Amino acid sequence: MKSLMFFAAAILVWSTAAFAGEGGNTRTERQNAILDAAEMNLALTLKKVEGDFLESVIASVADIKRSYSDKDMNLVVIPLMKILRNHPDSNFRILAAMALRDIGHDVGVFAVKEAARFDNNKTVRHICLHMAR
Protein backbone atom coordinates (compact mmCIF):
# COMPACT_ATOMS: atom_id res chain seq x y z
CA MET A 1 0.00 0.00 0.00
CA LYS A 2 2.84 2.39 0.84
CA SER A 3 4.53 1.73 -2.49
CA LEU A 4 1.27 2.37 -4.35
CA MET A 5 0.83 5.70 -2.53
CA PHE A 6 4.45 6.63 -3.22
CA PHE A 7 4.01 5.75 -6.90
CA ALA A 8 0.81 7.82 -7.12
CA ALA A 9 2.52 10.77 -5.42
CA ALA A 10 5.50 10.49 -7.77
CA ILE A 11 3.20 10.49 -10.82
CA LEU A 12 1.34 13.51 -9.44
CA VAL A 13 4.57 15.45 -8.84
CA TRP A 14 5.96 14.51 -12.25
CA SER A 15 2.77 15.51 -14.10
CA THR A 16 2.57 18.80 -12.20
CA ALA A 17 6.20 19.59 -13.01
CA ALA A 18 5.68 18.73 -16.67
CA PHE A 19 2.59 20.94 -16.84
CA ALA A 20 4.31 23.82 -15.05
CA GLY A 21 7.21 23.72 -17.48
CA GLU A 22 5.01 24.35 -20.53
CA GLY A 23 4.25 28.01 -19.86
CA GLY A 24 7.28 28.81 -17.74
CA ASN A 25 9.09 30.96 -20.30
CA THR A 26 6.93 34.05 -19.91
CA ARG A 27 7.77 36.58 -17.23
CA THR A 28 5.48 39.05 -15.57
CA GLU A 29 6.08 42.79 -15.60
CA ARG A 30 7.19 42.59 -11.99
CA GLN A 31 9.79 39.94 -12.81
CA ASN A 32 11.06 42.05 -15.71
CA ALA A 33 11.29 45.08 -13.41
CA ILE A 34 13.26 43.05 -10.86
CA LEU A 35 15.65 41.81 -13.55
CA ASP A 36 16.12 45.36 -14.86
CA ALA A 37 16.85 46.61 -11.34
CA ALA A 38 19.30 43.76 -10.78
CA GLU A 39 21.08 44.59 -14.03
CA MET A 40 21.34 48.26 -13.06
CA ASN A 41 22.69 47.38 -9.61
CA LEU A 42 25.24 44.97 -11.06
CA ALA A 43 26.40 47.58 -13.59
CA LEU A 44 26.89 50.17 -10.84
CA THR A 45 28.62 47.65 -8.60
CA LEU A 46 31.00 46.58 -11.38
CA LYS A 47 32.14 50.19 -11.71
CA LYS A 48 32.90 50.73 -8.02
CA VAL A 49 33.85 47.48 -6.30
CA GLU A 50 37.28 45.89 -5.98
CA GLY A 51 38.65 42.71 -4.49
CA ASP A 52 36.99 39.39 -3.94
CA PHE A 53 33.49 40.87 -4.09
CA LEU A 54 34.12 41.73 -7.75
CA GLU A 55 34.44 38.02 -8.50
CA SER A 56 30.97 37.40 -7.07
CA VAL A 57 29.47 40.27 -9.03
CA ILE A 58 30.93 39.02 -12.32
CA ALA A 59 29.69 35.51 -11.55
CA SER A 60 26.23 36.91 -10.79
CA VAL A 61 26.12 38.63 -14.17
CA ALA A 62 26.97 35.36 -15.92
CA ASP A 63 24.45 33.42 -13.81
CA ILE A 64 21.62 35.81 -14.62
CA LYS A 65 22.40 35.60 -18.32
CA ARG A 66 22.48 31.80 -18.19
CA SER A 67 19.19 31.67 -16.29
CA TYR A 68 17.43 34.28 -18.43
CA SER A 69 18.95 33.86 -21.87
CA ASP A 70 16.47 36.24 -23.49
CA LYS A 71 17.43 39.08 -21.11
CA ASP A 72 19.65 41.73 -22.66
CA MET A 73 22.46 42.62 -20.30
CA ASN A 74 23.57 45.73 -22.19
CA LEU A 75 24.24 47.84 -19.09
CA VAL A 76 26.99 45.56 -17.80
CA VAL A 77 28.89 45.18 -21.09
CA ILE A 78 30.94 48.38 -20.83
CA PRO A 79 31.98 47.87 -17.17
CA LEU A 80 32.99 44.28 -17.98
CA MET A 81 34.99 45.51 -20.97
CA LYS A 82 36.82 47.97 -18.71
CA ILE A 83 37.67 45.13 -16.32
CA LEU A 84 38.85 43.00 -19.24
CA ARG A 85 41.08 45.75 -20.51
CA ASN A 86 42.36 47.47 -17.36
CA HIS A 87 42.23 45.22 -14.30
CA PRO A 88 45.71 44.44 -12.93
CA ASP A 89 44.76 40.86 -11.94
CA SER A 90 44.61 38.47 -14.88
CA ASN A 91 42.09 36.24 -13.08
CA PHE A 92 39.52 39.03 -13.05
CA ARG A 93 40.20 39.75 -16.72
CA ILE A 94 39.50 36.09 -17.51
CA LEU A 95 36.27 36.18 -15.48
CA ALA A 96 35.19 39.32 -17.32
CA ALA A 97 35.92 37.67 -20.66
CA MET A 98 33.85 34.64 -19.67
CA ALA A 99 30.94 36.85 -18.63
CA LEU A 100 31.16 38.84 -21.87
CA ARG A 101 31.10 35.61 -23.84
CA ASP A 102 28.06 34.40 -21.88
CA ILE A 103 26.23 37.68 -22.50
CA GLY A 104 26.91 37.37 -26.22
CA HIS A 105 26.70 41.10 -27.00
CA ASP A 106 28.54 41.89 -30.25
CA VAL A 107 30.75 44.57 -28.69
CA GLY A 108 31.66 42.28 -25.78
CA VAL A 109 32.52 39.39 -28.09
CA PHE A 110 34.72 41.76 -30.10
CA ALA A 111 36.47 42.85 -26.89
CA VAL A 112 37.22 39.21 -26.06
CA LYS A 113 38.67 38.71 -29.55
CA GLU A 114 40.83 41.79 -29.13
CA ALA A 115 42.01 40.59 -25.72
CA ALA A 116 43.01 37.34 -27.40
CA ARG A 117 45.28 39.35 -29.66
CA PHE A 118 46.59 42.16 -27.47
CA ASP A 119 46.45 41.29 -23.76
CA ASN A 120 49.84 41.46 -22.05
CA ASN A 121 49.27 38.17 -20.18
CA LYS A 122 49.83 34.94 -22.10
CA THR A 123 47.19 33.03 -20.11
CA VAL A 124 44.52 35.66 -20.75
CA ARG A 125 45.37 35.69 -24.46
CA HIS A 126 45.20 31.90 -24.64
CA ILE A 127 41.86 31.60 -22.83
CA CYS A 128 40.30 34.47 -24.76
CA LEU A 129 41.47 32.90 -28.01
CA HIS A 130 39.63 29.68 -27.18
CA MET A 131 36.53 31.60 -26.08
CA ALA A 132 36.49 33.68 -29.26
CA ARG A 133 36.33 30.65 -31.54
pLDDT digits (tens), the chain, 133 positions: 654 444 444 444 545 544 444 455 688 999 999 999 999 999 999 999 988 899 999 999 999 999 999 999 999 999 999 999 999 999 999 999 999 999 999 999 999 999 999 999 999 999 999 998 8
Burial code (b: 16+ CB inside 10 Å, e: under 16) for 81-108 equals bebbeebeebebbbbbbbbbbbbebeeb
| pTM (two decimals) | 0.79
Domain coordinates in residue numbering, the chain: 38-132
Residue 88's nearest CA partner among 120, 111, 43 is 120
Contacts of 4 (CB under 8 A, 6+ apart): none
DSSP letter (8 states) at residue 24: T
pLDDT of residue 89: 96
pLDDT of residue 24: 56
Whether 60 contacts 98, CB under 8 Å: no
pLDDT of residue 51: 85
pLDDT of residue 12: 47
Classified as helix, coil or strand, 105 is coil
Q: Burial of 26 by CB count in 10 Å (0-12 exposed, 13-18 middle, 19+ buried)?
A: exposed
